[in-house]
Amino acid sequence: MSRCYLATSAALLLLALPGRPAHAQAALPTPITANARKPEVHPRIRSAIRELEAAKVELEKAPHDFGGHRADAVLAVDRAIAQLRLALKYDAK
């Protein structure tokens, strides 16, 4: 009988426990303050600019000229960066 009582007590105890672990806490909403940062606008475009700038440095430091394409590639990268910056500037208006 004590074995049955023990099993029943354990089952009732498990049912009484909360559905999630005690160490998990619900996230509190972040307070809105005057200094709160706004989410970054167009993060992929800004990332593309950084990647193009890094690619330009890599092109310029390369020991070879990529079959004669390096100069044109650097110019194309410069134009692409300029256009992306203009797009961001236009969107800010």
- Tens digits of residue pLDDT in 9-51: 555 444 555 555 555 556 666 655 656 677 778 999 999 999 9
- The rounded radius of gyration (Å) of the Cα atoms in the chain is 30
- Residue of 69, 74, 45 lying closest to 58 (CA atoms): 74
Q: Rounded to whole angstroms, how far apart are CA atoms 9 and 36?
A: 50
Q: Per-residue pLDDT averaged across 62-90, rounded?
A: 96
